[in-house]
Structure 1
């Protein structure tokens, strides 16, 4: 367009480049960038040689940016400065073009700004509703589930200490009490996370909520193996200790191991042995559990159907992965977690 009338001169190219540079500053600093552009426009009108039409396209972009990044009143005032300066310092016929550009490009930018503001308000309202749901869930879990679990722990402990029961029964009651106490402790940690989120604070360390639950990965796997053995399964536990496992990865794998053990109790059969293998390598940790499957599982326990999804979500938070395979009546679940911490961690780990 600059070469339609005559070859582009250095002054015309300079003003065009300066207009583009100041235009790119408008999205980052709307008011400062727009004022700088208008000052450049006034200088261009007073400078001999360049044509006002050279920056017509950048004017259109400016009007759009004004509507997009500034309130409507401020956008209209700054946008009207372009044709006003043209009337004062240049030929009046050019004003029609700039008024047309202003009418065509500023309203879409203003509509986009309004739409974004509406979306932000909807997101804020949704977050408020979510926080209300979190608070309600925390209250209900505390008032109902935590109370029932506390009663279970107390009654199991009391029965385990009663000498009138046989020794094997007292041992089972003691195991029930320990399991219920551990579940109650983790439930309280989950409630703490819910209430912290509801209060607007975040956890610096995603594993902080579990630091008092898991002493070590090997100990957690041994606890899962003991629970499976107490439920009638024949369990073989193998572990290779070839490197330290960071706390966050250990917490994640211990939770995944517990869910794997729960799935075995729900869907597994005691006709085949359960194999738990933990392989610690230089750069990753691999947990594999294998068990037999049957149309008639060993224990008829309720299931939510979200166990695999929950394990995948936990592992994804530390850049890990879960793979499953069923073959010849055998079910294998493998969880792999890298030992190097991920570059950016999610602020929360699903409870």
Structure 2
């Protein structure tokens, strides 16, 4: 689960992580009032969406007067912001963060992320603050510092010194400041079940104080049950409506940009199915895991969600019957076609428990556009061919 910048900074405040003062608003009038409360003389008007690259997209702008705050708030609030981290459709800006300007001497990058390779949190930092870390990694990877932190021992002084030296900070007071900053950030990460915290830029002021000028945070969905305050920050308007609808029926759904809808049981098999479709020359339109308790209702809802995507030209149903029996899935598919208008070819591959019975059920169903796949490769090949109209 992701949260907005203003919410991240609310959490930063609880850990005494310095940030510029700011106020979240949802109207132009409130933006003006917020600017007056902050006092200026410089303000930053920031769009609040769950995506990076807001500045390059025109969603972060500097104002030097109350009139400029009003003008920029009018311009940004309600705009559809497109960045390199949004889809081509962009995201509607419904909230703004009005923030004090800062005395910026240097811009740095600092984050704590989960490194799945080392199976521990990783502190990442760079002197190239304000830039996309992906661009830095590609063009000047030597400028990225990586410091793995074993959670069994936590953040230690040697981690902090490695960070300070890696960033080229030589002033003793500034070294202490950056070490304290990173220590607080790591504690925040661990105590809140975060998956990622990114501050870009982390600025050093003329007085040697480090400020989180930005804040991006993502959390482990599976841990939200023990993080009620974090869960309460969830903004459903920033999430995919189909993914939310799918979750209500126990379906794990992620939209992609291909032409072949996928309905599979099990995340591993779903990923293998998408890989096979790609190998056969097709493109998957989604990830959809119906889990181990699929029935006619969930299958019908899966068809309905998949078919909302106008790019879908075929659906590949790939089920391995272990917990769920294949004959049950076959009957679910038949019932689902009665509940939902499935107007594209449906390729079905069922294997495992009661697979022969399932094949007989589908054979006798006489469903138009239903094609049976003999195995994963055959089913994927038939789905690709159907999507191409062959």
What's the TM-score bracket when you normalise by the shorter of the two chains? under 0.3
Computing the radius of gyration from Cα coordinates, the structure with the larger value is 1
TM-score (norm 2): 0.20
Larger strand proportion of the pair:
2
Larger helix proportion of the pair:
1
TM-score (norm 1): 0.21
